[in-house]
Amino acid sequence: MAEQHRNSTTRSAGARTRTARRIGGAGLAVVAVAGLGLAGAGAAQAASASTCAASGLTASFGQQLAGGMNHQGVVLKLKNTSGHTCELRGYPGLGLQDAGHHALASSVHWGSTWYAKGPAKQTLSLKDGQSAEAVIAWTHANTGTSGARHAAYLVVTPPASTAHKTLKFPQWVDNGNLAVTALASHISVTG
């Protein structure tokens, strides 16, 4: 009788183990399917809101800004032409080039400019055809002044990118110093 009890205990334990395996397997399957659903949702969100690549943007100048005390500026526009929604966050990288496309010594200050209070950094979700803008400002004395850089082009690198856009920029820039605001949907300017 003791042996039968062992066998029935063994059978009960075996039955419980098989049942637990079935339930455990089904539970794992449910968790796996749910995990795939979450991963799929994350991938869909990532695909719909990727970082804007330079190849999917056009760069242009908007409003020209002039002011007293040798100040000058311009509104920079970056337009999404990628065919899908993408995101921009932060400041555009800027550089000056001469007529032969050789880099000129320059420096860039991020924040407020003579013409606009710098907006806080924010993530901009640009649908295809939408634009973001930043305000660029510099000073210029008379042409040929010591330390002035005579630029022919402005190199614009979108945030989180290593590729750039080049715009014609025939300007004298004192010491190559530029100031630029963070990108925003719209920036109110003075001047």
147 or 91, greater pLDDT: 91
Q: Model confidence at 59, in pLDDT bands (50, 70, 90)?
A: very high
pLDDT of 148? 85
Q: What is the mean pLDDT of residues 51-72?
A: 92
Mean pLDDT of all residues belonging to the chain? 80
**Least confident among 44-48, 105-109, 152-156, 167-171:** 44-48
How much is the pLDDT for 43? 44
Please state the rounded mean pLDDT for residues 84-90.
97
Predicted TM-score of the model (pTM): 0.73
Q: Is the pLDDT of residue 119 over 80?
A: yes
Asked whether the predicted pLDDT for residue 45 surpasses 90, the reply is no
- Strand residue runs (E) in the chain: 50-51, 57-66, 71-80, 86-89, 93-97, 103-104, 107-110, 123-126, 131-139, 148-157, 165-174, 177-180
- pLDDT value at residue 144: 62
